[in-house]
């Protein structure tokens, strides 16, 4: 056995002059100054998680730890840069050898050094999503898959499927059964494409973003000698947002942390809200079991919110069974308003209230950029967008495009526009290009055939589009879909050349052709379907299709300004955001809308009767509440107008029922008369 001999070096401790006990609160200091070994830091919302990690790095440097022996893993490059910059301010040291960055950037750095070990050269290319789509299309073509009779998933969807399989360890069969049941008939062909895609990446010396994690992990598992070198280098591993790690990220951490096990992971199980993209909360919950002797530190002092908001937040998460129990305590004084609970008559009254209250808060001195409207799903912002636009209140959307600017909304609108204006070449070609086998050249030929019929110049639409359009020459692959598309256009017109009701026209498009197209084309099919269903509800307020199309046009630009220049001139904007996009952000005033069962928590989750999924919804509710610094408004419509079935009475969210009524002040909103 080799004798162990340790080199000694002159160690200068405390070179920064920081008084850590003074700079940090008691809980932060306990974590920052902890002894080497496995440590789990449960940092509650607004408790100074980033500060704790930053000071931990500074503390290690002050103890004489060489920067090259520290690895800091984050989920965004911005977070890594901010922490390193802050450490550099605290400790005047050369940090060029400290490895800090996202999992993907660190993985890329490792892979570049040892690419040959994994069958690549060091000049390998990292593909973006467009590159992936192009490569997958090439593979599909080479597999000779017959997609003439049935729709095969588009490349975008396949990318999501392959990514989830790699990052969660679930089998293709299991994934299709639970998330993509409409593709189960394609399981063999999808498996064939997956294998071809992997082979093609190696042939072309390319990797995708998932490979930046998967290949370094395989490298370490394959080459123990190389793995040991990295383990010796990274004597201290620090991980941010640990609750968001997926299987591959967790395994990378575990393998790098051995054998010294000096790993500190920081996160909050109560803010684990990304299981749908592969994150596994069990990693943070099971950490003390997986790491023998792990110390658990809780940081519960919140510097963001007033006590009234925190009391409600603590109560809201209490019902979850799977959690590290903690209580957020406010560093700020109380006396602010109690969170307001506001039932409204319907979605439009909800929008009226929010717009009016935003203007009132602005008059009271709250800047618009300090206000946010949060929601469970993007489509729930429709009425809010309309009302803010009509009142000239500037807003920005972080959860996606403005409602009427989204691709699937524009796709559906193309059918309506063409039915009304048969000379609309752009709309005609847009829906033609949705069909399999039809490209730009084919769409142009079909348009010329349509012009030859002379119907484009008729004042009224034909009673049956199909009588004429069925005769058009379309690629064999598109024949069945073209026939169905023609029938959809037929349904838009009633006898005498009059148009059907706008809501019925949209329903015909969704049911006739577009639902199947979305399933094939988009990995977030269900969200997009909800958007279109919301558009149908909106269209119920119109009897004239021309009026609806006019509103769609006006709402698809900022305040009717197609250039968007007005939005650029507005320095102040209210934020509209999904809760998922709002994580990590904060505002003085937060409006949390659509708090009804079926909307939040999500209806599909209630139908599934899955306790784990419901607990994640509750965590999402908790995240939303803890975004508010001063004022919190909880709103819900009591009635939701539904197509065909009439108005539906809404049940307040069960999450509200779980909160003590004395923690919320009930507001009664009266009409203006």
All residues at 6 or more sequence positions from 72 whose CB lies less than 8 Å from its CB, including other chains: 53, 57, 80, 83, 84, 98, 99, 100, 101, 238, 240
Whether 547 is catalytic is no
| 154: its two tokens | 């588009």
Question: In this structure, what are the phi and psi dihedrals at residue 589, rounded to the nearest 5 degrees?
Answer: -130, 130
> Which residue in 62, 189, 211, 240 is the catalytic one?
240
Cβ neighbours of 586 (radius 10 Å): 16
626 is catalytic: no
Q: Do 151 and 520 form a contact (C-beta atoms < 8 A)?
A: yes
The answer to whether residue 132 is catalytic is no
Catalytic residue among 27, 52, 271, 406: 271
In whole angstroms, what is the distance from residue 46 CA to residue 97 CA? Answer: 30
Is 405 a catalytic site residue? no
- Beta pairing, strands 329-330 & 628-637: unpaired
241 is catalytic: yes
Catalytic residue, candidates 49, 154, 304, 501 = 49
Phi then psi dihedrals of residue 287, to 5 deg: -55, -50
Tell me if residue 342 falls in helix, strand or coil: strand
CA angle 65, 69, 74 (to 5 degrees): 110
**Dist CA 603 CA 150 (whole Å):** 30
Q: How many CB atoms lie within 10 A of CB 426?
A: 10
Of 56, 247, 627, 654, catalytic: 627
322 is catalytic: no
The SS3 of residue 474 is coil
Q: What burial class does residue 226 get, using C-beta atoms within 10 Å of its C-beta: 0-12 exposed, 13-18 middle, 19+ buried?
A: middle
Q: Which of 241, 269, 352, 597 is catalytic?
A: 241
Q: Of 274, 271, 207, whose CA–CA distance to 246 is shortest?
A: 274
Query: Of 50, 192, 356, 453, which is the active-site residue?
Result: 50
DSSP string, 496-545: GGPBPPHHHHHHHHIIIIIHHHHHHH-TTHHHHHHHHHHHHHHHTT-S-H
Catalytic residues: 49-50, 240-241, 271, 627
């Amino acid at each position: 056995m080799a004798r162990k001999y340790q080199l000694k070096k002159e160690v200068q401790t405390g070179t920064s002059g920081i008084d850590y006990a003074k700079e940090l609160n008691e809980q932060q200091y306990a974590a920052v100054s902890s002894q080497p070994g496995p440590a789990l830091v449960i940092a509650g919302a607004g408790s100074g998680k980033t500060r704790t990690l930053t000071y931990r790095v500074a503390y290690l440097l002050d103890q004489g730890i060489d920067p090259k022996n520290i690895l800091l893993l984050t989920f965004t490059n911005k977070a890594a840069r901010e922490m390193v910059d802050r450490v550099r301010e605290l400790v005047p040291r050369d940090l060029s050898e400290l490895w800090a960055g996202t999992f993907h950037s660190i993985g890329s750095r490792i892979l570049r050094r040892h690419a040959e070990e994994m069958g690549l050269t060091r000049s390998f290319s990292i593909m973006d999503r467009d590159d992936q789509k192009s490569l997958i299309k090439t593979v599909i073509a080479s597999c000779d898959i017959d997609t003439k009779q049935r729709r095969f998933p588009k490349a975008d969807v396949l990318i999501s499927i392959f990514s989830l399989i790699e990052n969660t360890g679930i089998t293709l069969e299991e994934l299709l059964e639970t998330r993509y049941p409409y593709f189960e008939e394609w399981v063999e062909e999808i498996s064939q494409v997956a294998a071809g895609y992997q082979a093609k990446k190696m042939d072309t010396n390319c990797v995708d973003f998932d490979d930046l994690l998967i290949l370094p992990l395989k490298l370490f598992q394959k080459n123990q000698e190389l793995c040991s070198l990295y383990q010796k280098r990274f004597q201290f591993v620090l991980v941010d947002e640990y609750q968001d790690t997926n299987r591959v990220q967790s395994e990378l951490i575990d393998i790098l942390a051995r054998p010294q096990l000096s790993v500190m992971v920081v996160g909050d199980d109560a803010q684990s809200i990304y299981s749908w993209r592969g994150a596994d909360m069990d990693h943070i919950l099971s950490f003390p079991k997986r790491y023998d002797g792990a110390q658990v530190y809780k940081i519960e002092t919140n510097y963001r919110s007033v006590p009234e908001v925190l009391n409600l937040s603590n109560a809201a998460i209490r019902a979850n069974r799977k959690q590290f129990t903690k209580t957020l305590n406010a560093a700020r004084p109380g006396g602010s308003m109690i969170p307001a609970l506001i039932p409204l008559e319907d979605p439009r009254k909800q929008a009226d209230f929010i717009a009016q209250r935003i203007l009132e808060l602005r008059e009271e001195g709250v800047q618009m950029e300090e206000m946010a409207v949060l929601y469970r799903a993007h489509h729930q912002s429709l009425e809010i967008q309309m009302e803010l636009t009509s009142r000239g209140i500037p807003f920005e959307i972080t959860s996606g495009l403005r409602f009427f600017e989204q691709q699937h909304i524009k796709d559906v609108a193309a059918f309506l526009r063409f039915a009304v204006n048969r000379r609309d070449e752009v709309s005609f070609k847009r829906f033609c290009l949705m069909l399999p086998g039809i490209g730009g050249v084919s769409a142009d030929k079909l348009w010329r055939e349509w012009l030859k019929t002379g119907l484009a110049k008729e004042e009224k639409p034909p009673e049956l589009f199909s009588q004429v359009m069925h005769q058009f020459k379309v690629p064999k692959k598109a024949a069945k879909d073209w026939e169905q598309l023609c029938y959809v256009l037929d349904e838009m017109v009633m006898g005498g050349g009059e148009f059907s009701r706008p809501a019925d026209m949209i329903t015909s498009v969704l049911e006739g052709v577009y639902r199947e197209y979305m399933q094939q084309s988009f990995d977030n099919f269900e969200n997009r379907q909800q958007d279109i269903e919301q558009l149908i509800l909106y269209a119920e307020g119109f009897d004239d299709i021309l009026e609806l199309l006019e509103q769609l046009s006006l709402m698809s630009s900022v305040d009717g300004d197609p250039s968007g220049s007005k939005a650029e001139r507005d320095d102040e904007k209210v934020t509209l955001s999904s809760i998922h996009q709002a994580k990590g952000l904060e505002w003085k005033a937060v409006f949390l809308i659509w708090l009804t069962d079926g909307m939040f928590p999500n209806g599909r989750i209630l139908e599934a009767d899955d306790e784990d999924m419901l607990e994640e919804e509750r965590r999402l509710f908790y995240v939303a509440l803890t975004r508010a610094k001063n004022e919190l408004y909880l709103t819900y419509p009591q009635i939701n107008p539904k197509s065909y079935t009439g108005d539906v009475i809404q049940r307040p969210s069960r999450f509200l029922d779980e909160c003590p009524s004395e923690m919320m002040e009930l507001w009664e909103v009266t009409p203006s008369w």
